[in-house]
Amino acid sequence: MEVLVALAVAMIGIVAAFDLVNRSLSQSNSAAMRLTAAYLAKEGVEITRNIRDNNFVDVTLDPLLWKTAGGLDQCNDGHKGCRADYDDYALRKNVNMGADPMIKKSPAGFFNHDVGAPTIYKRKILIDDSNPDFLEVEVVVWWEDRGAPAEISVSSKLYNWWLI
């Protein structure tokens, strides 16, 4: 009888340990997905910032060019937004978020929309250009995590520092 009780206690401990390991692995995978999504969202803001900065090179032609060139004025529809990759000089308007391709990962390890293996992530860049002094940029990245939709959003204000 004592042996059976000892075996039962040992089995409960072993099952609990395996369950703990299983949950830890599952949570670490979810954390890795969230971290990648956060980096992709931040990259979207940085891409937009780089396009805005490049627009200042041409600002001598038109003072409003800083917030319109490079597709910055095409991302304010509030729904579809735009997309861009790290090597783009302009934002591309999303035609249909359901039909647009997932972000891909190239063999070199770079995320983009053109070359590589599809990932689980999609990204859209939304820009509110209603204020004359800054652009309100919001980047949304979404994916599916264990059958449930997941999303992360990063926002930033890009100011017209040329006039400062």
Contact (Cβ atoms closer than 8 angstroms) between residue 58 and residue 162: no
Beta strands in 84-133 (DSSP E): 92-93, 104-105, 111-112, 117-118, 122-128
- Position with higher pLDDT, 124 vs 5: 124
Confidence class for position 98, pLDDT limits 50, 70, 90: low
Domain range summary for the chain, segments of one domain joined by +: 2-163
* Torsions phi, psi for 70 (to 5 deg): 70, 20
List, for residues 66-78, the tens digit of each pLDDT value: 888 888 888 877 6
Confidence class for position 161, pLDDT limits 50, 70, 90: confident
- Position with higher pLDDT, 120 vs 79: 120
List, for residues 36-59, the tens digit of each pLDDT value: 999 999 999 999 999 888 887 776
**Do β-strands 117-118 and 104-105 pair in parallel, antiparallel, or remain unpaired?**
antiparallel
Q: Which amino acid, one-letter code, is at 91? A: L
Contact (Cβ atoms closer than 8 angstroms) between residue 116 and residue 107: yes
Confidence class for position 34, pLDDT limits 50, 70, 90: very high
Contact (Cβ atoms closer than 8 angstroms) between residue 122 and residue 102: yes
- How distant is the alpha carbon of residue 157 from its chain centre? 17
Confidence class for position 148, pLDDT limits 50, 70, 90: very high
Confidence class for position 126, pLDDT limits 50, 70, 90: very high
Confidence class for position 118, pLDDT limits 50, 70, 90: very high
pTM given for the model: 0.80
Specify the pLDDT at position 66: 81
Specify the pLDDT at position 60: 65
Among candidate residues 163, 164, 160, the one with its CA nearest the CA of residue 66: 160
